[in-house]
C-alpha cells in the first residue's frame, strides 16, 4: 500500500533564494511631491520619510509612504539628465523597483549572478548613525529592477539618507494591509522567458497558469503564469498578449509604456467594502461591471459572508477556488497613460487570482480602451 505523502509546504523546502518579503516598491515619476499627495489623500498613505537636496542628495527627491506593511517610494529627477529623467520620459510614471528584503544581500546577489542575473548594482554598503544597509540590484523585464536589501544591522527609519518627516496633514488609513501580488506585462512570446528567469535565477515556482482560452473576450486575449517565491510572500503573475480580434489590453500597455513593465499592484485589505467605499469617497476611480454580473454571481461562487447589495453598489467582484473565495476590484490607470493600475483584494481562503472574473473584468477594460480609441 502506498502512503500518501503530502508535498512539503514551500517554506519547508530548500529555498534557493530566500526572501523575507517585499521591502518597498519604488516609482519613478514626473512630480513626486504631487504623486505623494495623491497617494496620501486618495489611498490613505502616511508620509514618513524624505530624501532630497535638504538631506544631501543632489539629483533626486524621494518621498517614503507607508500604510501598514505597504511601503512605497516616489522619486523624481531634479534635472533633465540621467536615468530617472530618461525613464520618466520614456515610460511616464511607473514602477522602477520591486525591492526584496533579504537576510544576506551579498549571498543573494552572488546566487542570482551565478544563475545568470543581470547586475544593476553590486552589493554596496550605505550607512548613517543608525547603522548600515547592504544594497544590491538585479534587472528584470524592461527597465524594471529588483533591489536586494539587507537591513539586519540597521535601526533607522528606512534607508540611510532618508529623514523622518512630520506633517500636520494626516489622512486616515483606508485599510490597505500588504502587497498581495505585482503583475508584469511582457511582449508577445516573452512570458516563458521571464517565467524561466524567475525559476532559474530566483528559485520561484510557477503556481498557476492561464491560457488564452481562460483569458479571452470577443476582442482580446492574454496568457498569464503566476510565479511565487519559496515562502509564498512574493507573487508575480506575468502576462503576455495573445491573438484576438482587436488590440489586447496588454498590447495597449506595451505601446504606452514603451516596453514591458509592472501592470498592476494588488494590495490586500481585511474589509474590502469599507476600503473601497473610502477610496471612492476620496476620488479613486474604479472599473465598473454591469449590474447583471450580480444577478448570477452567487450561482457561480456559492454562499459568501457579505451582502450582495454593497458589493453591487461598489462594483466589487467575487470568485471562488477550492480553498475559499476572494473579493477584488480594479482601479482605472492612475496616470494619463493607460499603464499602471491597482487591485484591491480581500482573500477569504482563496489563493487564486480571480480567473472567474477575467471575462467581466476584461470587458470593462475594453470599454475604457475603446473610449481612448485604442481598441
Residue among 348, 276, 271, 342 nearest 313 (CA): 276
Sole window of 13-21, 49-57, 221-229, 266-274 interacting with Fe ion (rule: CB under 5 A): 266-274
Q: Is the dihedral of CA 162, 164, 168, 170 positive or negative?
A: positive
Closest to Fe ion by CB, 227 vs 266, is 266
Closest to Fe ion by CB, 34 vs 209, is 209
- Pull the grid cell for residue 146: 529588483
What are the backbone dihedrals phi and psi of residue 255, each rounded to the nearest 5 degrees, phi first?
-65, -45
Closest to Fe ion by CB, 138 vs 266, is 266
Asked if 287 touches Fe ion (CB under 5 A), the answer is no
Closest to Fe ion by CB, 45 vs 342, is 342
Closest to Fe ion by CB, 159 vs 345, is 345
Candidate list 85, 266, 284, 375; residue touching Fe ion; CB under 5 A? 266
Q: How far is the CB of 309 from Fe ion (least distance, A)?
A: 25
The H-assigned helical ranges of the chain are 32-43, 83-91, 105-114, 191-200, 249-257, 272-281, 292-301, 308-314, 358-371
Q: How far is the CB of 264 from Fe ion (least distance, A)?
A: 6
Q: How far is the CB of 345 from Fe ion (least distance, A)?
A: 7
Q: What binding mask, one character per residue, do residues 65-104 give for Fe ion by CB under 5 A, x or -?
A: ----------------------------------------
Q: How far is the CB of 90 from Fe ion (least distance, A)?
A: 25
The 8 Å CB, 24+ separation contacts for 247-250 are 247/220, 247/369, 247/374, 247/375, 248/220, 248/221, 248/222, 249/220, 249/222, 249/362, 249/365, 249/366, 249/369, 250/185, 250/222
Closest to Fe ion by CB, 220 vs 357, is 357
Q: Are 127 and 150 in contact (CB under 8 A)?
A: no
Distance CA 276, CA 77 (A): 32
Closest to Fe ion by CB, 36 vs 279, is 279
322 exposure class (CB count in 10 Å sphere: 0-12, 13-18, 19+): exposed
Of residues 297 through 356, those in contact with Fe ion by CB under 5 A are 343
Size of the site for Fe ion (CB under 5 A): 2
Q: Rounded to the nearest 10 degrees, what angle do helices 358-371 and 249-257 cross at?
A: 50
Sole window of 105-113, 263-271, 283-291, 317-325 interacting with Fe ion (rule: CB under 5 A): 263-271
Q: How far is the CB of 161 from Fe ion (least distance, A)?
A: 33
Residue among 284, 340, 350 nearest 317 (CA): 350
Sole window of 12-20, 143-151, 221-229, 261-269 interacting with Fe ion (rule: CB under 5 A): 261-269
Closest to Fe ion by CB, 93 vs 343, is 343
Largest Cα–Cα separation, the chain: 71
Q: 245: how many CB neighbours lie within 10 A of its CB? A: 12
Q: How far is the CB of 308 from Fe ion (least distance, A)?
A: 22
Strand-pair partners of 242: 221
Closest to Fe ion by CB, 17 vs 358, is 358
Site residues (vs Fe ion, CB under 5 A): 266, 343
Amino acid at each position: 500500500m502506498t502512503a500518501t505523502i503530502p508535498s512539503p509546504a514551500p517554506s519547508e523546502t530548500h529555498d534557493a533564494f530566500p526572501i523575507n518579503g517585499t521591502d518597498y516598491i519604488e516609482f519613478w515619476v514626473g512630480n513626486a511631491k504631487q504623486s505623494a499627495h495623491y497617494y496620501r489623500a486618495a489611498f490613505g498613505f502616511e508620509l514618513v520619510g524624505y530624501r532630497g537636496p535638504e538631506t544631501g542628495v543632489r539629483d533626486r527627491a524621494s518621498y517614503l509612504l507607508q500604510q501598514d506593511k505597504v511601503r512605497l517610494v516616489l522619486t523624481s529627477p531634479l534635472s533633465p539628465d540621467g536615468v530617472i529623467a530618461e525613464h520618466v520620459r520614456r515610460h511616464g510614471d511607473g514602477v522602477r523597483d520591486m525591492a526584496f528584503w533579504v537576510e544576506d544581500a551579498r549571498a543573494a546577489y552572488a546566487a542570482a549572478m551565478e544563475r545568470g542575473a543581470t547586475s544593476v548594482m553590486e552589493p554596496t554598503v550605505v550607512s548613517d548613525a543608525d547603522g548600515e544597509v547592504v544594497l544590491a540590484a538585479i534587472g528584470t523585464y524592461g527597465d524594471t529592477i529588483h533591489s536586494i536589501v539587507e537591513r539586519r544591522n540597521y535601526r533607522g527609519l528606512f534607508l540611510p539618507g532618508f529623514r523622518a518627516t512630520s506633517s500636520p496633514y494626516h489622512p486616515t488609513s483606508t485599510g490597505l494591509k500588504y502587497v498581495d501580488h505585482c503583475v508584469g506585462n511582457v511582449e508577445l512570446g516573452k512570458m516563458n522567458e521571464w517565467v524561466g528567469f524567475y525559476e532559474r535565477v530566483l528559485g520561484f515556482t510557477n503556481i498557476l497558469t492561464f491560457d488564452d482560452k481562460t483569458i479571452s473576450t470577443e476582442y482580446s486575449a492574454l496568457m498569464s503564469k503566476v510565479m511565487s517565491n519559496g515562502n509564498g510572500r512574493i507573487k508575480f503573475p506575468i502576462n503576455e498578449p495573445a491573438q484576438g480580434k482587436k488590440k489586447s489590453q496588454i498590447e495597449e500597455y506595451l505601446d504606452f509604456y514603451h516596453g514591458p513593465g509592472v501592470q498592476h499592484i494588488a494590495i490586500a485589505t481585511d474589509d474590502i467594502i469599507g476600503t473601497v467605499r473610502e477610496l471612492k469617497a476620496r476620488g479613486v476611480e474604479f472599473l465598473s461591471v454591469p449590474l447583471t454580473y450580480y444577478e448570477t454571481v452567487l450561482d457561480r461562487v456559492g454562499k459568501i459572508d457579505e451582502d450582495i447589495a454593497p458589493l453591487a453598489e461598489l462594483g466589487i467582484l467575487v470568485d471562488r477556488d477550492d480553498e475559499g473565495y476572494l473579493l477584488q476590484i480594479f482601479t482605472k490607470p492612475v496616470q494619463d497613460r493607460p499603464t499602471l493600475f491597482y487591485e484591491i483584494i480581500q482573500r477569504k481562503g482563496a489563493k487564486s487570482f480571480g480567473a472567474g472574473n477575467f471575462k467581466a473584468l476584461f470587458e470593462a477594460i475594453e470599454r475604457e480602451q475603446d473610449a481612448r480609441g485604442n481598441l
